[in-house]
Structure 1
Amino acid sequence: MMAAAAAKHVVLFPFPGQGHLSAFVSVAGLLHGALPDAAITLVSTPRNVAALRTTACSNSNSSFLGFHVLPFTPADHGLPPDCESSDAIQPMAIFDLMEAFEALEAAFDDYLSAAVAAAGGSGRDVFVVSDPLTAWTVTASRRRGCAHAFFPSCGAYGTAVLHSLWSHLPVRPDPATGRVHLPEYPEVIIHRSQVTKHALGPPAVIDRGTRFFGRQIPLGYETDAVLINTVEEFEPNGLAMLRRTLKIPVCPIGPLVRATSLPASPEAEAAVVSFLDCHSPSSVLYISFGSQNSIRAEHMTELALALESAGRLFIWAVRPPVGHDIKGDFRADQWLPDGFEERARTSNRGLLVRGWAPQVRILAHASTGAFLSHCGWNSVLESVTHGVPIIGWPLSGEQFYNANMLKEEWGVCVEVARGNVEDTVVSRAALFDVVETVMGQTAKAAEMRRQLREIKEVMEVSWKERSGSSRKAMEDFLRAMNLR
């Protein structure tokens, strides 16, 4: 892909969430293409490394990727025995995991010291790419003379807004309007309903967040560059916001989109493909709220009733509702209208998929007409690169801002609900109307598909030989890291 550089060692340190880990594996592949002679090592805790090794072993394209295990005992940090990732904890316990990972700094420093010694004693031959939630890696990198970069797991606009929010905790919305003021970006309008519950929760939770980000944010200004999984022409405003604030190279090297989804069971994949194959183009609504999110039981009922009213075909990746074990069994008889699943199955109008769904395969299929999504960044990129309009139901974090960017800047998302807390408003009538607007023969649907064709073209040319913006951004990044 590019001219080979001198042998280097790239050390990757993601935060342990499914979206974060998969994004880092993608960027590892990109860096391997740019620096084919470099050693690339992903560092994490035992369970995370074991899972990633299993995936890498089944994918010959990941054979270049090495792993290093940092010692970690969850119980030492008040975590359940098997808890080494955000997938394994309840959302409000996320700061337990963040703080536990801070305790890995000494072990990481020891590893980095050994890596520098193995490279001949010069930190110039080792560089670190970390998640912003592990910003403490900057300290070890500086101590060992290594260049350092951040790689957020979300897009430019979402990263910019989150950075502003985290920099000014606690969040205090205007009592009259609900508006949240962002000092760095006065032109951006954020509403309290678009702020994750961690920042609006009980004082004890807010205080922990204030302390944690108070430690991490200053370190962010000591890094050398930022990689972003986006495209210059797709997020020009978000990228401009980040560059104005950080004042370091911000390099959009996307789109990094998974070729395949996380593994679904063979039975689930076969059922999905069979369902899609027997329906007409753009006729099926795909519904998924990601690997770590779910909606409330009463909201599931509203969504199910709206689907029946609309008579639209659907594939719904279901997980237990909020307040239940998200990894547990999904009980349709308790959380959906009586007979809903049976009616959908016997009429061949709908399919409930329990656990992992083959998302990339679904979005790439001609029968898929829209995606009702939580607007996580991986899902956003997978949807727009396959030309699938989005019905947005953001639930947490930067998902609110992803939906906002897609809606305001490109017009390829219609937001139908926001959040999954007690006061979240979900109306079956609104769901019905939005599904019909996006999937029907409407002017809005036609405009969304036109805009998606433009986005798809932007994505496709971003890595075009010599002239592509992402290719140029990768060269800018390598120069910022003294690798060119």
Structure 2
Amino acid sequence: MEASKADVSIVVVPYPAQGHLNQLLHLSIILSSHGLTVYYAAPRTHIHQARSRLQGWPASATNSLHFHELPIPPYTSPAPNPNSSVFFPAHLQPLFEKFKHVQPHLAKLLQSLSATSRRVVVISDFLVSFAATEAAALPNGEPYTFRCTPPSSVLAWEGEDGPAGNLIKSFGLNTPSTEDCTTEEFLAIVAQSKSMPESGMLISTCGVIEGDFLDLFMQQPDLMGKKLFAIGPLNPTVITETTGPRHRCLDWLDKQPPGSVLYISFGSNSSISDEQIEQLAIGLLNSDQRFVWVLREADRGDLIAEGEKDWQNKLPPGFIEKIEGKGIIIGDWAPQLEILAHQATAAFMSHCGWNSCIESISMGVPMLAWPMHSDQPWNAVLISSYLKVGVIVRDWSPRKEVLLAVEIEKAVKEVMVHDKGEEIKRRARELKEAVRRAVGDGGSSNTELLAFINHITRS
């Protein structure tokens, strides 16, 4: 290990939700592959969650990482409410409230590393404001935040007036309402991040995806004078091997024609009502397209907590028999990266969480956007109207209404069957190649990553 790297310790602190855990584990693997000492610090159950769901890397990828458990007080882990009028996963709030109690345990780790390291670099999720505070208190600490949502979504939330609104309107884009995107309790957590100390920010995006927005994002008052590194995507863009046993759905995909299968998944934290499940099932059946549908209960705060495993009983009578040979239902965790990378996969019906967007873009798979909460309504606009690599299935305005099967069928056929779908697929392939160049040697994301590494290991 180079002397300049040997005495620099990096502590990565994710927020305890799948989309955050996943991206920061990818980042930890990448940094450790460059010879850096990296600690991934999280509660025990969330370390397990992140590691057990890791995809796209060789099994040895985490061998050089240090997984540091942060004790967390007991918390309730209620079931999600698929019939809630707001789709934000409010059932995770008890976990979010208890998570702040890991602060003294994180402080102890940082103080220990500070005594033996030339520099302690803390990369914390932008929602973990206390980690940046603890890093800034060290004589040799440097806090960096990691934003796991797109910078353009931050600009979209600023409203229609001002430079951000003008830029968005210049592209002919309509900013969706922020109503029902989150809860007041969660907004209070977000507000704490506004004043956290930070030396800079890392973002899971790149110029070919959001170049028009990055310059304006960097002009935000709270970012002026700070270093910004756009280093995404962080997930592997080419899948060469799996980290665990091969999922049965991949064997099924092997038997399907190239570019013939629609993949449906609404992410780890979203649920849909029984009535909506029925309409989606009918729409898929009537579309006459092959599909892989992930139908599972949204994550609870603790994955060990008992949840509903068999959602197939919510499907219309006879549905399983009717789709035999044409579609499969997955009731557990699905290997999304591997599904998207499979040659049989043609399109992805998604909630448009940023993880899913980035992964779909990386694999050149068009999206059918069905946003649920948070930044997802904006991401759906970005995918469909700005990047033009997808279509909207569920518009955000009538979000509280059940989307009928006929509308679902129409959207599926638009991408899978009609001529418009061919143009979308072409653009998706082109964007995939551009993104892969960005993360390759000499690409913009790779250059920014190396600039970050050089900065934190400077003399």
Normalising by structure 2, we get a TM-score of 0.85
Deviation at residue 422 of structure 1 after TM alignment: 7.4
> In the TM superposition, what whole-angstrom CA distance separates every residue of 1:170-220 from its partner, at most 9, and x where no partner exists?
xxxxxxxxxx5576722344333x544434xxxxxx2x345433333211x
Aligned to 1:433: 410
Distance (Å, rounded) in 2 between the aligned partners of 1:138 and 1:316 = 39
- Whether the 8 Å CA contact 1:263–1:356 is kept in 2: the answer is no
Distance (Å, rounded) in 2 between the aligned partners of 1:365 and 1:46 = 32
Rate the CA distance shift 1:419–1:439 in 2: closer, same or farther, 3 A. same
Aligned to 1:140: 134
Deviation at residue 2 of structure 1 after TM alignment: 11
Q: SS in structure 2 opposite 1:136?
A: helix
Matches within 5 A, 1:182-201: 185-187=164-166, 188=168, 189-192=174-177, 194-199=178-183
Aligned to 2:84: none
- Whether the 8 Å CA contact 2:58–2:243 is kept in 1: the answer is no
Matched, 1:472 2:457: no
Aligned to 2:148: 153
> In the TM superposition, what whole-angstrom CA distance separates every residue of 1:94-133 from its partner, at most 9, and x where no partner exists?
44333322222222222211110122xx5xx111000011
> In the TM superposition, what whole-angstrom CA distance separates every residue of 1:237-279 from its partner, at most 9, and x where no partner exists?
332232121222221112212548998875xx23x23322222
> One-letter code of the match for 2:424?
M
Aligned to 1:240: 215
Rate the CA distance shift 1:358–1:322 in 2: closer, same or farther, 3 A. closer
Distance (Å, rounded) in 2 between the aligned partners of 1:218 and 1:374 = 30
Deviation at residue 450 of structure 1 after TM alignment: 1.9
Matched, 1:118 2:94: no
- Whether the 8 Å CA contact 1:128–1:141 is kept in 2: the answer is yes
- Supply the RMSD in Å over aligned alpha carbons: 3.3
Matches within 5 A, 1:3-42: 5-34=5-34, 36=35, 38-42=36-40
Distance (Å, rounded) in 1 between the aligned partners of 2:207 and 2:278 = 40
- Whether the 8 Å CA contact 1:303–1:431 is kept in 2: the answer is yes
Matched, 1:227 2:227: no
Q: SS in structure 2 opposite 1:24?
A: helix
> In the TM superposition, what whole-angstrom CA distance separates every residue of 1:440-460 from its partner, at most 9, and x where no partner exists?
141x21221221122112112
- Whether the 8 Å CA contact 1:412–1:448 is kept in 2: the answer is yes
Equivalent residue for 2:439, pick from 463, 469, 475:
463
Matched, 1:327 2:307: yes
Rate the CA distance shift 1:218–1:364 in 2: closer, same or farther, 3 A. same
Distance (Å, rounded) in 2 between the aligned partners of 1:315 and 1:386 = 17
Deviation at residue 328 of structure 1 after TM alignment: 0.9
Single out whichever of 57-66 and 418-427 deviates more from structure 2: 418-427
> One-letter code of the match for 2:309?
D
Rate the CA distance shift 1:29–1:322 in 2: closer, same or farther, 3 A. closer
Deviation at residue 59 of structure 1 after TM alignment: 2.2
Deviation at residue 52 of structure 1 after TM alignment: 4.9
Distance (Å, rounded) in 2 between the aligned partners of 1:261 and 1:302 = 36
Rate the CA distance shift 1:99–1:64 in 2: closer, same or farther, 3 A. same
Matched, 1:249 2:227: yes
Distance (Å, rounded) in 2 between the aligned partners of 1:182 and 1:330 = 47
Q: SS in structure 2 opposite 1:64?
A: coil
Distance (Å, rounded) in 2 between the aligned partners of 1:278 and 1:82 = 36
Deviation at residue 374 of structure 1 after TM alignment: 1.0
Distance (Å, rounded) in 1 between the aligned partners of 2:347 and 2:74 = 40
Matched, 1:49 2:47: yes
Aligned to 1:175: none
Equivalent residue for 1:127, pick from 117, 121, 136:
121
> One-letter code of the match for 2:229?
C
Distance (Å, rounded) in 1 between the aligned partners of 2:48 and 2:143 = 25
Q: SS in structure 1 opposite 2:323?
A: helix
> One-letter code of the match for 1:101?
F
> In the TM superposition, what whole-angstrom CA distance separates every residue of 1:457-480 from its partner, at most 9, and x where no partner exists?
211211343x31112212332355
Aligned to 2:171: none
- Whether the 8 Å CA contact 2:176–2:377 is kept in 1: the answer is no
Q: Which runs of 5 or more structure 2 residues have no equivalent in the other structure?
A: 81-87, 169-173
- Whether the 8 Å CA contact 1:13–1:44 is kept in 2: the answer is yes
Deviation at residue 395 of structure 1 after TM alignment: 0.9
Rate the CA distance shift 1:462–1:51 in 2: closer, same or farther, 3 A. same
Rate the CA distance shift 1:184–1:47 in 2: closer, same or farther, 3 A. farther
- Whether the 8 Å CA contact 2:77–2:91 is kept in 1: the answer is no
Distance (Å, rounded) in 2 between the aligned partners of 1:420 and 1:260 = 41
> In the TM superposition, what whole-angstrom CA distance separates every residue of 1:404-448 from its partner, at most 9, and x where no partner exists?
111122111101115699723412222111111101141x21221
Distance (Å, rounded) in 2 between the aligned partners of 1:142 and 1:60 = 33
Q: SS in structure 1 opposite 2:147?
A: coil
Rate the CA distance shift 1:255–1:339 in 2: closer, same or farther, 3 A. same
Rate the CA distance shift 1:391–1:140 in 2: closer, same or farther, 3 A. same
Rate the CA distance shift 1:368–1:53 in 2: closer, same or farther, 3 A. closer
Distance (Å, rounded) in 1 between the aligned partners of 2:252 and 2:104 = 51
Distance (Å, rounded) in 2 between the aligned partners of 1:230 and 1:404 = 16
Q: SS in structure 2 opposite 1:104?
A: helix
Q: SS in structure 1 opposite 2:127?
A: helix
Normalising by structure 1, we get a TM-score of 0.81
Q: Tell me how many residue pairs correspond in the alignment.
A: 435
> One-letter code of the match for 1:118?
T
Rate the CA distance shift 1:59–1:420 in 2: closer, same or farther, 3 A. farther
Matches within 5 A, 1:309-458: 309-320=286-297, 327-333=307-313, 335-345=314-324, 348-418=325-395, 423-442=400-419, 444-458=420-434
Q: SS in structure 2 opposite 1:233?
A: helix
Deviation at residue 140 of structure 1 after TM alignment: 0.8
Q: Which runs of 5 or more structure 1 residues have no equivalent in the other structure?
A: 84-89, 165-179, 200-205
> One-letter code of the match for 1:44?
A
Deviation at residue 39 of structure 1 after TM alignment: 1.5
Q: SS in structure 2 opposite 1:185?
A: helix
